[in-house]
Amino acid sequence: MAATSIHSRNPGMAALAAAALRLLAAVAVVAPALLAGPAAAGAPPFSCGPSSPSHALPFCNAKLPAAQRAADLVSRMTPAEKVSQLGDISPGVPRLGVPGYKWWNEALHGVAISGKGIHLDQGAVRSATSFPQVLLTAAAFNDNLWFRIGQATGKEARALYNIGQAEGLSMWSPNVNIFRDPRWGRGQETPGEDPAVASRYAAAFVRGIQGSASNTRSAPPAVLLTSACCKHATAYDLEDWKGVSRYSFKATVTAQDLADTFDPPFRSCVVEGRANCLMCAYTSVNGVPNCANADLLTKTFRNSWGLDGYVAADCDAVAIMRNSQFYRPTAEDTVAATLKAGLDIDCGPYIQQYATGAIQKGKLTQQDVDKALKNLFTTRMRLGHFDGDPKAGVYGNLGAAQICTPEHKNLALEAALDGIVLLKNGAGVLPLMRGAVASAAVIGHNANDFLALLGNYWGPPCAPTTPLQGIQGFVKNVKFLAGCNSAACNAAATPQAAALASSSDEVILFMGLSQQQESEGKDRTSLLLPGNQQSLITAVANAAKRPVILVLLTGGPVDITFAQSNPKIGAILWAGYPGQAGGLAIAKVLFGEKNPSGKLPVTWYPEEFTKIPMTDMRMRAAGGYPGRTYRFYNGKTVYKFGHGLSYSKFSHRLVTGRKNPTHNTSLLAAGRTATTEDNRGYHVDHIRDEVCEQLKFPAVVKVTNHGPMDGKHTALMFLRWPNVTNGRPARQLVGFQSQHIKAGEKAHLRFEVSPCEHFSRVRRDGRKVIDKGSHFLEVGKHEVEISFGA
């Protein structure tokens, strides 16, 4: 994660909400001034300027490699100075000209105020671009969009640093955990339930926020724009469920599930995105806390994946390991276990407090500390903090004028527009015709609440538009009623809402959840809409002149079977937590200025799914256990992964560019060493890289837009096996492509299919294999068979 806003070290939810309101109130006053140009502000902290006492020392020589410079700096520090650097608030070392640094900063969907180093409550800049919460952005299935959001967020963070309103550029984002259980309070922060989607999101966002020039696999820039940290490895997706807390949860996870579900996004962060940091989770997996697991932190992160950066602990995870998990008998033993396992920094003061004692007692060596510090200071070197005044550096042009720019505001709108999912459109209720709606009733607690746009880990938005304001831009006569006292809806104005509905041409309900139901530290126990929401919606639908429109603002899925089957509820949209432009985006979709193209990145389960314990980490179905996510779940659904309607009708046809003999010949070239023990497949790790390259083949999806509207269409390509024995998924996402297609026209969407990556499955022992025999590529209802022979 990044740090917990509900933990004792951080503000309570009530205080945070109060701060939010104060910040949002200031936005309208401060934000317009930002566009006029750079404002006078403080100077950013840095080292190695002309007046620095260390100006002539090797660690100030920007021509040397960052790791060499870091080693030189660490060698000059005293033992006490070294230990002082092992927490998220790292003090300065004045005698060496080293400024203090705050490692904990957040940038989940825009620069956020949840950490310690970003200051939007003081200074010239009081807001930042607030993009949609990640789950809604994931619904766009567009990694170029994800890259550009990361890029914009990184630029705004660097700009804040340059004007003295940030004390760190290590951004503890993104969250790429798998949204395994629909009740998880933090699922909203993630790219969803599919490892392939989460992996592509991870790489794209990391490349953007760290300053890569393009969304391609390449070395990050010599000076990082910011440092990304992918969290929370691994198998973390429970907050507080029926008395089971994330701080003490002991997860049992199979090697198969780790290899094909939980770990791939983190691998992609490092291998594809070149992330500078990984964060270990609170969870104890198979008896070992993640932050003390040398197999994970060193063997996997560094040796296998090649992490070039640092490993951070989730906030207070080291203290929790001792005080709640009782993993080691003393504080010194605990600190020694984490640093020796490969941890580099603690979010919190625990290591700073006990590392010296651990050294004195012989449980930890100075070399263990030096190893961590070299990783940390290498990161600060790569951020340019030891290259003199950053205003004279490669990002020196970034300032107040680069925050909340028109480009970034438009990007926030684009992300919301592309993510909104049309779940139902009975009898063509939508789109509404602008100018044809004489009066509209807007009903719902989420209709006029700025906080409902933001989800969690937010920064104060620079130009927020609520759904009510969005509708008012399209309809002159709009009447509003909240209907519920809050998302909990334990008090509802049902008679008044029904009366308003009966007197209006159109009725639009904005219902759903809030951070009081789903958030960090808070899981749900029910998938139904809270309180009196369902009865209010039904009463309004019964009273309205024509079928009503239901817009859901939620993170996780809800069971709305009642609305799905009710003809008086004509249309349903899921808008997630859509960010600062969410109100305008929703209105544009409702009135046909945007043809909806979003697709659900998670399965929507029925309420009966809540009988399954959240603590059961198994992905695959077994006996009466139905499994999890579209890849393995065999039960009923409310809406399936990938569901999303359009105002137009699209058709697909899938064509592959190579025939089966090529695959057979290339696999035969791999030799007998690649063949599995039972001679039924091939070990992927025994197939040479050049053979994997030879196996790749193109696939083209021919898409036709039959109208009546122009629109963007996203094609999802899946792989299906002939059976689901031995833990095979029911199907598995290969990739996704999208394109805007005019009504009546066709487009060819091109995919590159890699059998080593896309056709492989993970066995029970965690090894990847490609089965011999038939595989089926699917797009929509069309499929093509691909066969791998002996």
Q: Are 765 and 775 in contact (CB under 8 A)?
A: no
Other residues' Cβ atoms within 10 Å of the Cβ of residue 29: 9
Report how far apart, in Å, the C-alpha atoms of 594 and of each of 454, 527, 591 are: 22, 30, 8
What are the backbone dihedrals phi and psi of residue 332, each rounded to the nearest 5 degrees, phi first?
Answer: -65, -40
Residue whose entry in the numeric block shows the structure tokens 């499955």: 761
Beta bridge partners of 230: 278
Which tokens belong to 362?
Answer: 């012989």
Instruction: Report the DSSP beta bridge partners of residue 495.
Output: none
Q: Which of 314, 346, 449, 771 is catalytic?
A: 314
Of 274, 145, 268, give the one whose Cα is nearest residue 219.
Answer: 274
CA distances from 350 to 258, 318, 359 (A): 29, 7, 14
Place of tokens 């050049």: 690
Residue type, 485: N
What angle do helix axes 406-419 and 582-590 make, rounded to 10 degrees? 50
* Known catalytic residue at 314: yes
Strands 101-102 and 277-280: unpaired
Q: Which residue carries 């809406």 as its tokens?
A: 639
| C-alpha distances in Å from residue 725, one per residue of 615, 616, 728, 730, 761 | 24, 21, 6, 9, 12
Helix (H, G, I), strand (E, B) or coil at 200: helix
Distance CA 663, CA 50 (A): 62
Q: Is 580 exposed, middle or buried (0-12, 13-18, 19+ CB in 10 A)?
A: buried
Single out the residue of 502, 513, 511 nearest to residue 479, CA to CA: 502
Beta-strand (E) ranges in 606-687?
Answer: 650-656, 681-683
As annotated, the active-site residues are 314
